[in-house]
């Protein structure tokens, strides 16, 4: 039997490797067995099981963005990376997200916007 790597499974499922790992860490997807070197062994049946969990909506029930409460540039950059990945995984464009954010928070639309390079 040929086992797949975590990256190959993520590609097959149409999600990022980090998303698949996050599901594992959160207990949303059962941890596959590992080989002697510690690599996860993803069998075709296990991939099918994860695909069924996704189809049933059991892995997307709750999204938690993990970030410390701070406006330090490093913390803001990390939060931006996590939100960006969430938007990609959800198939939401940044433009539509920002439009909705502006609707929910009028102060957001009044704040000065920075342009690239300045």
pLDDT tens sequence across 27-75:
889 999 999 999 999 999 999 999 998 888 878 755 555 555 678 888 7
The predicted pLDDT at position 41 comes to: 93
pTM over 0.85: no
Whole-angstrom CA distances from 18 to 9, 14, 87, 88, 113 are 11, 12, 13, 12, 30
Give percent of the chain with pLDDT exceeding 90: 38
Per-domain residue ranges for the chain?
6-55, 64-118
């Amino acid at each position: 039997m040929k086992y797949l790597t975590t990256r190959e499974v993520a590609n097959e499922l149409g999600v990022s490797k980090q998303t698949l790992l996050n599901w594992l860490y959160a207990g949303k997807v059962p941890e596959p067995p590992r080989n002697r070197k510690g690599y996860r062994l993803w069998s075709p049946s296990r991939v099918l099981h994860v695909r069924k969990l996704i189809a049933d909506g059991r892995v997307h029930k709750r999204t938690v963005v993990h970030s410390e409460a701070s406006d330090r540039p490093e913390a803001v950059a990390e939060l931006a990376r996590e939100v960006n990945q969430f938007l990609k995984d959800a198939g939401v464009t940044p433009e539509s997200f920002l439009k909705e954010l502006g609707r929910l928070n009028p102060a957001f639309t009044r704040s000065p916007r920075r342009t690239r390079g300045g």
